[in-house]
Amino acid sequence: MQISILDGYAGNPGDLSWDRLQELATCHIYDRTLPHQVVERAAGHEMLLTNKVAITAQHMDLLPQLRYIGVLATGYNIVDVEAAHSRGIVVTNVPAYSTASVAQLAIAHLLNICCQVQHYTLEARQGVWSHSHDFSYTSTPVMELAGKTMGIVGLGQIGSTVARMALALGMRVQALTSKGADALPTGIEKCPTLHELLTTSHVVSLHCPLTADNRHMIDAEALALMRPDAILLNTSRGPLVDENALAEALRKRHILAAGIDVMENEPPCPDNPLLALDNCYITPHIGWASTEARQRLMDTTVANVAAYLQGCPINVV
Protein backbone atom coordinates (compact mmCIF):
# COMPACT_ATOMS: atom_id res chain seq x y z
CA MET A 1 0.00 0.00 0.00
CA GLN A 2 1.30 3.46 -0.94
CA ILE A 3 0.35 6.85 0.49
CA SER A 4 1.16 10.21 -1.08
CA ILE A 5 1.38 13.05 1.47
CA LEU A 6 1.01 16.19 -0.63
CA ASP A 7 1.84 18.97 1.84
CA GLY A 8 3.37 17.53 4.97
CA TYR A 9 5.61 20.42 5.97
CA ALA A 10 3.02 22.67 7.66
CA GLY A 11 1.91 19.93 10.04
CA ASN A 12 5.34 18.41 10.49
CA PRO A 13 8.24 20.75 9.67
CA GLY A 14 10.62 18.23 11.18
CA ASP A 15 9.86 18.19 14.90
CA LEU A 16 7.42 15.26 14.71
CA SER A 17 7.78 11.78 13.23
CA TRP A 18 6.13 10.03 10.30
CA ASP A 19 7.42 6.65 11.54
CA ARG A 20 4.08 5.26 12.74
CA LEU A 21 2.45 6.09 9.42
CA GLN A 22 5.36 4.57 7.53
CA GLU A 23 4.84 1.35 9.47
CA LEU A 24 1.38 1.10 7.91
CA ALA A 25 2.29 1.83 4.28
CA THR A 26 4.98 3.14 1.97
CA CYS A 27 4.87 6.92 2.28
CA HIS A 28 5.89 9.43 -0.36
CA ILE A 29 6.15 12.68 1.59
CA TYR A 30 6.22 16.08 -0.11
CA ASP A 31 6.64 19.34 1.78
CA ARG A 32 4.42 21.21 -0.68
CA THR A 33 2.54 20.35 -3.86
CA LEU A 34 1.32 22.72 -6.56
CA PRO A 35 -2.06 22.03 -8.21
CA HIS A 36 -0.48 20.78 -11.44
CA GLN A 37 1.66 18.29 -9.48
CA VAL A 38 -1.20 16.48 -7.72
CA VAL A 39 -1.87 13.83 -10.35
CA GLU A 40 1.81 13.10 -10.94
CA ARG A 41 2.50 12.65 -7.22
CA ALA A 42 -0.61 10.62 -6.44
CA ALA A 43 -0.60 8.46 -9.56
CA GLY A 44 -0.85 4.75 -8.82
CA HIS A 45 -1.50 5.34 -5.10
CA GLU A 46 -4.65 4.13 -3.39
CA MET A 47 -4.32 6.70 -0.61
CA LEU A 48 -3.36 10.34 -0.31
CA LEU A 49 -3.17 12.85 2.52
CA THR A 50 -3.67 16.57 2.08
CA ASN A 51 -3.85 19.59 4.31
CA LYS A 52 -4.54 22.53 2.00
CA VAL A 53 -3.95 21.05 -1.47
CA ALA A 54 -7.35 20.91 -3.17
CA ILE A 55 -8.53 17.58 -4.57
CA THR A 56 -11.13 18.04 -7.30
CA ALA A 57 -13.37 15.74 -9.30
CA GLN A 58 -10.97 16.19 -12.22
CA HIS A 59 -8.10 14.92 -10.10
CA MET A 60 -10.15 11.89 -9.08
CA ASP A 61 -10.96 11.08 -12.71
CA LEU A 62 -7.23 11.01 -13.44
CA LEU A 63 -6.47 8.87 -10.39
CA PRO A 64 -8.53 5.68 -10.94
CA GLN A 65 -6.69 3.79 -8.19
CA LEU A 66 -7.50 6.39 -5.53
CA ARG A 67 -9.70 4.97 -2.76
CA TYR A 68 -8.89 7.12 0.28
CA ILE A 69 -8.33 10.84 0.91
CA GLY A 70 -7.25 11.84 4.41
CA VAL A 71 -7.57 15.52 5.22
CA LEU A 72 -4.91 16.66 7.68
CA ALA A 73 -7.29 19.18 9.23
CA THR A 74 -10.80 19.51 10.60
CA GLY A 75 -12.23 21.49 7.70
CA TYR A 76 -12.57 19.45 4.50
CA ASN A 77 -13.83 22.02 1.99
CA ILE A 78 -10.67 21.48 -0.06
CA VAL A 79 -12.02 18.09 -1.19
CA ASP A 80 -14.96 17.63 -3.54
CA VAL A 81 -16.63 15.25 -1.11
CA GLU A 82 -19.67 14.63 -3.32
CA ALA A 83 -17.43 13.61 -6.20
CA ALA A 84 -15.44 11.34 -3.89
CA HIS A 85 -18.56 9.62 -2.57
CA SER A 86 -19.87 9.02 -6.08
CA ARG A 87 -16.58 7.30 -6.95
CA GLY A 88 -16.45 5.18 -3.82
CA ILE A 89 -13.56 7.17 -2.34
CA VAL A 90 -13.47 7.41 1.46
CA VAL A 91 -12.73 10.90 2.85
CA THR A 92 -11.72 11.40 6.48
CA ASN A 93 -10.77 14.41 8.56
CA VAL A 94 -9.25 15.07 11.99
CA PRO A 95 -11.85 16.60 14.31
CA ALA A 96 -11.20 18.61 17.46
CA TYR A 97 -7.41 18.22 17.57
CA SER A 98 -6.76 21.97 17.85
CA THR A 99 -9.62 23.08 20.11
CA ALA A 100 -7.49 24.12 23.08
CA SER A 101 -4.83 25.79 20.96
CA VAL A 102 -7.23 27.84 18.81
CA ALA A 103 -9.22 28.96 21.84
CA GLN A 104 -6.02 29.91 23.60
CA LEU A 105 -4.93 32.04 20.65
CA ALA A 106 -8.28 33.81 20.48
CA ILE A 107 -7.92 34.82 24.12
CA ALA A 108 -4.26 35.71 23.57
CA HIS A 109 -5.29 38.16 20.85
CA LEU A 110 -7.93 39.61 23.15
CA LEU A 111 -5.55 40.04 26.08
CA ASN A 112 -2.85 41.53 23.86
CA ILE A 113 -5.30 44.13 22.53
CA CYS A 114 -6.65 44.97 25.99
CA CYS A 115 -3.32 45.00 27.83
CA GLN A 116 -1.16 46.12 24.88
CA VAL A 117 1.50 43.56 25.79
CA GLN A 118 3.21 43.71 22.39
CA HIS A 119 3.23 47.53 22.40
CA TYR A 120 4.66 47.94 25.89
CA THR A 121 7.23 45.18 25.45
CA LEU A 122 8.54 46.97 22.37
CA GLU A 123 8.63 50.34 24.16
CA ALA A 124 10.45 48.84 27.15
CA ARG A 125 12.98 47.26 24.79
CA GLN A 126 13.50 50.64 23.15
CA GLY A 127 14.27 52.26 26.51
CA VAL A 128 11.10 54.31 26.82
CA TRP A 129 10.29 53.04 30.31
CA SER A 130 13.90 53.45 31.44
CA HIS A 131 13.65 57.18 30.71
CA SER A 132 10.27 57.61 32.35
CA HIS A 133 9.90 59.97 35.34
CA ASP A 134 7.44 57.59 37.02
CA PHE A 135 7.49 53.99 38.14
CA SER A 136 4.50 53.23 35.88
CA TYR A 137 4.51 54.37 32.29
CA THR A 138 1.49 54.38 29.97
CA SER A 139 1.24 55.65 26.41
CA THR A 140 -1.98 53.95 25.37
CA PRO A 141 -5.11 52.88 27.31
CA VAL A 142 -5.26 49.50 29.03
CA MET A 143 -8.68 47.85 29.19
CA GLU A 144 -10.25 45.55 31.79
CA LEU A 145 -12.47 42.75 30.46
CA ALA A 146 -14.43 41.92 33.61
CA GLY A 147 -18.04 43.01 33.22
CA LYS A 148 -17.85 43.39 29.45
CA THR A 149 -19.82 41.26 26.99
CA MET A 150 -18.31 38.60 24.76
CA GLY A 151 -20.42 37.67 21.75
CA ILE A 152 -19.54 34.29 20.24
CA VAL A 153 -20.71 33.30 16.78
CA GLY A 154 -20.80 29.50 16.66
CA LEU A 155 -20.81 27.43 19.84
CA GLY A 156 -19.03 24.28 18.79
CA GLN A 157 -16.08 22.88 20.70
CA ILE A 158 -13.79 25.88 20.11
CA GLY A 159 -16.51 28.46 20.67
CA SER A 160 -17.55 26.71 23.89
CA THR A 161 -13.95 26.66 25.12
CA VAL A 162 -13.55 30.37 24.39
CA ALA A 163 -16.81 30.99 26.24
CA ARG A 164 -15.51 29.22 29.35
CA MET A 165 -12.31 31.27 29.22
CA ALA A 166 -14.28 34.49 28.86
CA LEU A 167 -16.46 33.57 31.82
CA ALA A 168 -13.31 32.94 33.86
CA LEU A 169 -12.23 36.50 33.01
CA GLY A 170 -15.46 37.80 34.46
CA MET A 171 -17.14 38.54 31.16
CA ARG A 172 -20.80 38.17 30.30
CA VAL A 173 -21.06 35.69 27.43
CA GLN A 174 -23.75 35.47 24.76
CA ALA A 175 -23.74 33.18 21.75
CA LEU A 176 -25.35 32.99 18.33
CA THR A 177 -25.94 29.26 17.98
CA SER A 178 -28.44 26.76 16.64
CA LYS A 179 -28.55 25.14 20.08
CA GLY A 180 -31.59 25.81 22.22
CA ALA A 181 -31.28 28.14 25.18
CA ASP A 182 -31.91 25.28 27.61
CA ALA A 183 -29.03 23.30 26.07
CA LEU A 184 -26.40 25.98 26.64
CA PRO A 185 -23.80 25.59 29.39
CA THR A 186 -24.33 27.55 32.58
CA GLY A 187 -23.43 31.20 32.18
CA ILE A 188 -23.89 31.41 28.42
CA GLU A 189 -26.90 33.32 27.11
CA LYS A 190 -28.49 32.62 23.73
CA CYS A 191 -28.52 35.64 21.43
CA PRO A 192 -31.44 35.51 18.95
CA THR A 193 -29.84 37.38 16.02
CA LEU A 194 -26.47 38.42 14.66
CA HIS A 195 -27.76 42.00 14.64
CA GLU A 196 -28.34 41.94 18.39
CA LEU A 197 -25.04 40.23 19.10
CA LEU A 198 -23.09 42.81 17.09
CA THR A 199 -24.79 45.79 18.69
CA THR A 200 -24.49 44.58 22.29
CA SER A 201 -21.06 42.92 22.44
CA HIS A 202 -17.78 44.54 23.42
CA VAL A 203 -15.97 41.57 21.86
CA VAL A 204 -17.20 39.53 18.87
CA SER A 205 -15.40 36.22 18.36
CA LEU A 206 -16.06 34.07 15.28
CA HIS A 207 -16.06 30.29 15.68
CA CYS A 208 -18.29 28.96 12.90
CA PRO A 209 -17.49 26.91 9.79
CA LEU A 210 -17.44 28.65 6.44
CA THR A 211 -20.49 28.02 4.27
CA ALA A 212 -21.92 29.57 1.12
CA ASP A 213 -24.43 31.41 3.32
CA ASN A 214 -22.04 33.05 5.78
CA ARG A 215 -19.20 34.19 3.51
CA HIS A 216 -18.54 37.84 4.38
CA MET A 217 -21.05 37.68 7.23
CA ILE A 218 -18.96 40.44 8.78
CA ASP A 219 -19.25 43.06 6.05
CA ALA A 220 -19.56 46.86 6.06
CA GLU A 221 -23.16 46.68 7.25
CA ALA A 222 -22.31 44.32 10.10
CA LEU A 223 -19.29 46.36 11.17
CA ALA A 224 -21.42 49.51 11.25
CA LEU A 225 -23.58 47.85 13.92
CA MET A 226 -20.67 47.28 16.27
CA ARG A 227 -19.72 49.54 19.14
CA PRO A 228 -16.87 52.03 18.57
CA ASP A 229 -14.97 50.32 21.41
CA ALA A 230 -15.62 46.82 20.05
CA ILE A 231 -13.00 44.19 19.26
CA LEU A 232 -13.42 41.63 16.47
CA LEU A 233 -11.66 38.27 16.75
CA ASN A 234 -11.43 35.77 13.90
CA THR A 235 -9.59 32.51 14.48
CA SER A 236 -12.07 30.51 12.40
CA ARG A 237 -12.13 31.10 8.62
CA GLY A 238 -10.82 34.14 6.77
CA PRO A 239 -13.68 34.56 4.29
CA LEU A 240 -16.17 35.06 7.13
CA VAL A 241 -14.91 38.67 7.09
CA ASP A 242 -14.90 41.17 4.24
CA GLU A 243 -11.32 42.33 4.64
CA ASN A 244 -11.73 45.59 2.72
CA ALA A 245 -14.71 46.52 4.88
CA LEU A 246 -12.81 45.62 8.04
CA ALA A 247 -9.81 47.69 6.94
CA GLU A 248 -12.08 50.67 6.36
CA ALA A 249 -13.78 50.27 9.75
CA LEU A 250 -10.43 50.01 11.53
CA ARG A 251 -8.90 52.89 9.61
CA LYS A 252 -11.80 55.18 10.51
CA ARG A 253 -11.87 53.84 14.10
CA HIS A 254 -15.47 52.70 13.73
CA ILE A 255 -14.37 49.75 15.87
CA LEU A 256 -11.45 49.64 18.27
CA ALA A 257 -9.39 46.74 17.00
CA ALA A 258 -9.27 43.32 15.39
CA GLY A 259 -7.28 40.20 16.21
CA ILE A 260 -7.14 37.70 13.37
CA ASP A 261 -5.35 34.45 12.67
CA VAL A 262 -6.97 33.63 9.33
CA MET A 263 -7.32 35.59 6.09
CA GLU A 264 -9.18 35.25 2.80
CA ASN A 265 -5.97 34.42 0.94
CA GLU A 266 -3.11 32.70 2.73
CA PRO A 267 -0.45 33.87 2.64
CA PRO A 268 -1.97 37.35 2.17
CA CYS A 269 -0.89 39.69 -0.59
CA PRO A 270 1.77 42.15 0.62
CA ASP A 271 -0.56 45.06 -0.18
CA ASN A 272 -3.45 43.71 1.90
CA PRO A 273 -4.68 46.84 3.72
CA LEU A 274 -5.04 45.05 7.07
CA LEU A 275 -1.28 44.48 7.26
CA ALA A 276 -0.60 48.20 7.55
CA LEU A 277 -3.07 49.07 10.31
CA ASP A 278 -1.82 49.58 13.87
CA ASN A 279 -5.13 48.41 15.35
CA CYS A 280 -5.20 45.13 13.42
CA TYR A 281 -3.24 42.35 15.11
CA ILE A 282 -2.44 39.48 12.77
CA THR A 283 -0.89 36.09 13.38
CA PRO A 284 -0.07 33.80 10.41
CA HIS A 285 -2.67 31.03 10.89
CA ILE A 286 -0.92 29.52 13.91
CA GLY A 287 -3.93 28.68 16.09
CA TRP A 288 -3.75 25.02 15.04
CA ALA A 289 0.05 24.82 15.05
CA SER A 290 1.07 24.18 18.66
CA THR A 291 3.31 21.15 19.06
CA GLU A 292 0.63 19.45 21.14
CA ALA A 293 -2.14 20.06 18.59
CA ARG A 294 0.00 18.87 15.69
CA GLN A 295 0.90 15.72 17.59
CA ARG A 296 -2.80 15.02 18.11
CA LEU A 297 -3.28 15.65 14.40
CA MET A 298 -0.57 13.11 13.61
CA ASP A 299 -1.97 10.56 16.07
CA THR A 300 -5.49 10.77 14.66
CA THR A 301 -4.20 10.64 11.09
CA VAL A 302 -2.41 7.39 11.88
CA ALA A 303 -5.57 6.05 13.53
CA ASN A 304 -7.66 7.06 10.50
CA VAL A 305 -5.32 5.30 8.07
CA ALA A 306 -5.09 2.19 10.26
CA ALA A 307 -8.87 1.98 10.54
CA TYR A 308 -9.29 2.34 6.79
CA LEU A 309 -6.75 -0.41 6.13
CA GLN A 310 -8.64 -2.65 8.57
CA GLY A 311 -11.85 -2.08 6.62
CA CYS A 312 -13.64 0.00 9.25
CA PRO A 313 -12.85 3.66 8.52
CA ILE A 314 -13.40 6.30 11.22
CA ASN A 315 -13.86 10.09 11.09
CA VAL A 316 -15.49 9.72 7.68
CA VAL A 317 -17.01 12.88 6.17
The answer to whether the beta carbons of residues 305 and 21 sit under 8 Å apart is yes
Nearest to 176 by CA among 202, 194, 160: 194
The answer to whether the beta carbons of residues 305 and 25 sit under 8 Å apart is yes
Nearest to 102 by CA among 159, 45, 41: 159
Tell me the residue type at 141.
P
Is residue 237 flagged as an active site residue? yes
Report how far residue 199's alpha carbon sits from residue 211's, in angstroms, rounded to the nearest whole number.
23
Q: Classify 300 as helix, strand or coil.
A: helix
Is residue 216 flagged as an active site residue? no
Backbone angles phi, psi at 243, to 5 degrees: -65, -35
Bridge partners of 76, per DSSP, are none
Q: Which residues contact 43 (CB under 8 A, 6 or more apart)?
A: 62, 63
Tally Cβ neighbours within 10 Å of residue 166: 26
Euclidean distance between the first and the last CA atom of the chain, given in angstroms as a whole number: 22
**Left (φ > 0), alpha (ψ -120 to 50) or beta: where does 216 sit?**
left
Q: Which of 23, 144, 221, 266 is catalytic?
A: 266
Q: Which residues contact 23 (CB under 8 A, 6 or more apart)?
A: none
Buried b (16+ CB within 10 A) or exposed e, 14-46: eeeebeebeeebebebeeebeeeebeebbeebb
Q: Which of 172, 207, 285, 296 is catalytic?
A: 285
The answer to whether the beta carbons of residues 163 and 150 sit under 8 Å apart is yes
Residue positions counted in the chain: 317
Q: Which of 59, 172, 237, 296 is catalytic?
A: 237
| Catalytic machinery residues | 237, 266, 285
